[in-house]
Structure 1
């Protein structure tokens, strides 16, 4: 037994030494960490960042890679947003470009067809990473989606600001410009609140009309120009107007009968290359309209057709649209 005692002591010492070596890796004082601890630690502090987004929009759900290089913009509101954010595009529909976006007529930009008729062959040859569309290209969505990730960024007229902010948020996410978008949207919301405050104190009603080569149509709440009523709080002289793309066809007798405090006019002819804006003025300011409060008080306002008819829904165009009402509605 005496001879076995040293052997037992030696075995016990070796066991204690082995156990100490096995746990030394978890000792914080030695600057190392076990493999499993390192893995979980890095997952918590530096999560893997995916370069692909899945975005829901009015026409479906689209997967798109962040910061796409070849971008096609059919929607002029999206184009003015990208321009505002300093993001380059590859292709645009160059016909009827608003003057403030005229630089995109340059040959360095690919002409991808018209707003109503995309040039599928040209688009296919470009091999775009992203296509941005709105209402005028809605029926082309299935075909465009075959060529590249396609996202609908048109505004919902019945929920203008909500859809506008959603669209801007999507563009901000796609191009890693979230903070810039948030700052611009905040400026617009401040403009809106200022106009709403003024509208509540002024309390003068308005009628919005579209002048189109000799004909006129009216727009009310929920319409394509309804943000004047729905968002800015300007009372409508007539709330029960047909809500459609082309508005409700009306006569000048209708305007005289309603006798609005303000008459806001959008000149479609000037927007699409027809008559100049003076054509709308000579059409609208006839003997019947001259009897209205709007004319008597010099409150017939000719809105900028480029923003209101061609590109409404962009960071720049929405700011300008709100700014026009802020300036002219007193």
Structure 2
């Protein structure tokens, strides 16, 4: 009898051990699956790579880059509008409305618009460099430092090029919805002003004043959205389209006798808040030009060079440029 009880005890003990072992094996597998989840999440959200096609080539860029160097003030005002942080900018001649980027403690100075500081940029180890026309010659050298994307404006197709650049910015920084909202707002403002300009039946001449000299700009030029987008008829359809404009005299302006004369003061843009704007006025408002319809009707319009010369092509600058022209129509 005692022997039988002993055998039952041993058998029972063995069964308990076996069942416990089976239970441990079953609970181990879910633990293994749980440890795999963070790895998958990290891989999915870590670094999506985009291929950005632009005028100077194709560039692979990680989405939402953290350290960004920007050489174009229009793109800078766009990123500012979208709340995207930047690391480095060229701090000379920053437009007043972007003056916070002149803070040397908050942002690194990466050279000038035409002369990037390659050593300083390299030290920053940026994730992305954005350039435009003034830095196009430095593209290859900058590309050796970090992914570099050209977002210059093609003025022969101003709005199309502007929107393409904005959509590229939206794609890189995950701001597609915000970009769409802003572009819809710009389109609405343009439509209203275009109708207003067309209804006026007025023609216009655009001039850049610089050191006592005048250059004329027509359709398809860097300031050509006044004609191409906003609907003012060019007073001269044969103006040579070039970066620096067509050199003209006061006699030329008097002969063409525009209804509106839009003036961009380069001196004021590059000199900051100096007295250069007075020089532009003296250049333009001489005895010859005072005989034009533009002067007699109060339609000589001095455009803000901070938008028109330094930072065109941005969400903020384009909106302000369009509004400025609209406000001049009487």
TM-score normalised per structure 1: 0.84
Q: CA deviation at 1:283?
A: 1.4
Correspondence for 1:98 among 95, 99, 107:
95
Counterpart of 2:67?
70
Instruction: Map 1:35-54 onto structure 2 (within 5 A).
Output: 51-54=48-51
Q: CA deviation at 1:275?
A: 4.3
Instruction: Map 1:237-316 onto structure 2 (within 5 A).
Output: 237-273=235-271, 275-316=275-316
Distance 1:48 1:270 in 2: 46
Counterpart of 2:188?
190
Task: Provide Cα deviations, 1:252-307, integer angstroms capped at 9, x if missing partner.
Answer: 00000000000000000000016421221111100000000000000000000000
* Match status 1:86 vs 2:83: yes
Secondary structure of the residue aligned to 1:206 is strand
> Where in structure 1 are there 5+ consecutive unaligned residues?
1-46
Task: Provide Cα deviations, 1:190-243, integer angstroms capped at 9, x if missing partner.
Answer: 011111111221110000000001111000001000010011111000011111
Instruction: Map 1:140-219 onto structure 2 (within 5 A).
Output: 140-219=138-217
> Where in structure 2 are there 5+ consecutive unaligned residues?
1-43
Distance 1:115 1:247 in 2: 20
Aligned-residue CA RMSD (Å): 1.3
Distance 2:275 2:308 in 1: 17
Distance 1:235 1:145 in 2: 42
TM-score normalised per structure 2: 0.84
Secondary structure of the residue aligned to 2:206 is strand
Aligned 8 A contact 1:217 1:250 in 2? yes
